[in-house]
Amino acid sequence: MSEFYDALETRAPALREAAQFAALPEQVARAAGRTPAFAAILAGVDGASITSRAALARLPVTRKSELLERQKTLRGRDAFGGFSAIGWTGQPAATGARRVFQSPGPIYEPEGAGSDYWRMARAIFAAGFRAGDLIHNSFSYHLTPAGSMMETGAHALGCTVFPGGVGNTELQLQAVSELRPQGYIGTPSFLKIMVEKTAETGADLSSITKALVSGEAFPPSLRHWLAEHGIAGYQCYATADLGLIAYETAAREGLVIDEGVIVEIVRPGTGDPVPDGEVGELVVTTLNPDYPLIRFGTGDLSAVLAGSCPTGRTAPRIKGWMGRADQTTKVRGMFVHPSQVADVVRRHPEITRARLVVEGEMANDRMTLHIECDTPPEGLAARVAESVRDVTKLRADIVPVAAGSLPNDGKVIEDRRSYH
């Protein structure tokens, strides 16, 4: 597939980087000036100075847990915890919100009035949809934003949408048989259920030849299974806070990062970017003026892929979802966080990377900190053990290992205990 949604997708990487970081200072200033939460988080920051990745990396990471806590603190006064520049009568920002959604937590997210507010049209186009297509949208239309995210993107592309929503499988199958949509948007598991149900109901799904799926893992086995049933399935990665982050193309080589966000991969528990190719937490800065999230930690693990997409799209690519970054665990009644492991590493510049392994039975567990170090100086293990006790209040064995020997899977804490 050699077509592109717009010219932004094929611009030179240096031009994209320059354009995004030319827009970033205003976005940082807007966040600090129009949202109370970022006014506090970015206090003392000169937005005009945030013109490079190095400058951006010096700003604090705001994680979803912090957003939730701020929302809880301000319940009844500010639905968005001070993070939104739009709202309605009675909110700090009294205008601009077209819809408000509720995700588990609960966390509330605003939807602004702009066309394709969540920037989903680009992913829908990459999945093969074109103007005039009828799309069967089986994402939820109540509480959470997924249904609206996809519908507004489809409308921006010029598509017609059947709002199937969740459940009512037989009625949805009847609608597919009678309306003959060109494609499906929804979770991959519900599409599989619909295909399987055709044998029982006699429904005709043959008109559906393409699909954009999200919200769940989309393993190659399921992609191949759908292809055997005549459906070319593509996936995208989006969140209720940020909208589209990355999307799959016909090349099937990772996910291309959306044009409206700046993505960093950081070491879990920190805000420190890792080298390209290393697995870490995906941190996103959105250029959306209504909900200007700056260095928002998704809590998801991924890694940057080398090179450009074979389709000709030049934006960076990520490997896709590779697990959760929050590996917090409890050892002998004490919580141990990835940020604590990072704190230990910072105290010892000789360490390049570390991995805390927890083993044994509950109530009789033990911790071993594996540390990568080129040439461990004498006494390093004892000093690191002391740091672990100081930071976590727990004891750990220290095992120096060769540089580059720890797995590149983003894990800072590995829990090997048996819970059976």
Mean pLDDT to the nearest integer, 267-290: 94
pLDDT at 35: 97
CA distance 228 to 231: 7
**Least trusted range by pLDDT, from 19-28, 138-147, 318-327, 405-414:** 318-327
Computed over every residue of the chain, the mean pLDDT equals 94
**Segments making up each domain of the chain, as ranges:** 329-415
Please name the residue that has the structure tokens 């580059």.
404
Q: The pTM is what? A: 0.86
CA distance 305 to 297: 19
pLDDT digit string, tens, across residues 150-201: 999 999 999 999 999 998 999 999 999 999 999 999 999 999 999 999 988 8
Do the bridges between strand 261-266 and strand 280-286 make them parallel or antiparallel, or are there none, so unpaired? antiparallel
Residue 396 pLDDT more than 50? Answer: yes
Residue 104 pLDDT more than 90? Answer: no
pLDDT digit string, tens, across residues 6-47: 999 999 999 999 999 999 999 999 999 999 999 999 999 999
Task: For domain 329-415, give the CATH number.
Answer: 3.30.300.30
Residue 363 pLDDT more than 70? Answer: no
Provide the angle, in degrees to the nearest 10, between the axes of the packed helices 169-179 and 188-201: 80
Give the type of residue at 307.
G
- Of how many residues is the chain composed? 420
pLDDT digit string, tens, across residues 204-260: 999 999 999 998 889 999 999 999 999 999 999 999 999 999 999 999 999 999 999
Mean pLDDT to the nearest integer, 337-345: 90
Residue 420 pLDDT more than 50? Answer: no
Mean pLDDT to the nearest integer, 337-354: 92
Q: Give the rounded percent of residues in the chain with a pLDDT score beyond 70.
A: 98
pLDDT at 266: 96
pLDDT digit string, tens, across residues 43-95: 999 999 999 999 999 999 999 889 999 999 999 999 999 999 999 999 999 99
3-state SS, one letter per residue, for the chain: CCCCCCHHHHCCHHHHHHHHHHHHHHHHHHHHHHCHHHHHHCCCCCHHHCCCHHHHHCCCCEEHHHHHHHHHHCCCCCCCCCCCCCECCCCCCCCECCEEEEECCCEEEEECCCCCCCCCHHHHHHCCCCCCCEEEECCCCCCCCHHHHHHHHHHHHCCEEEECCCCCHHHHHHHHHHHCCCEEEECHHHHHHHHHHHHHHCCCCCCCCEEEECCCCCCHHHHHHHHHCCCEEEEEEEECCCEEEEEECCCCCCEEECCCEEEEEECCCCCCECCCCCCEEEEEEECCCCCCCCCEEEEEEECEECCCCCCCCCCCEECCCCCECCCCEEECCEEECHHHHHHHHHCCCCCCEEEEEEEEECCEEEEEEEEECCCCCCCHHHHHHHHHHHHHCCCCEEEEECCCCCCCCCCCEEECCCCC
pLDDT at 338: 87
pLDDT at 418: 67
Peptide bond into 316 cis (omega under 30): no
Confidence of residue 415 (pLDDT cuts 50, 70, 90): confident
Convert 94-132 to b/e letters by CB count within 10 Å (16 or more is b): eebbeebbebeeebbbbbbeeebbbbbbbbbbbbbbeee
Q: Which residues pair with 372 in a beta bridge?
A: 353, 401
pLDDT digit string, tens, across residues 283-297: 999 999 999 999 999
pLDDT at 1: 46
CA 36 to chain centre: 24
pLDDT at 393: 87
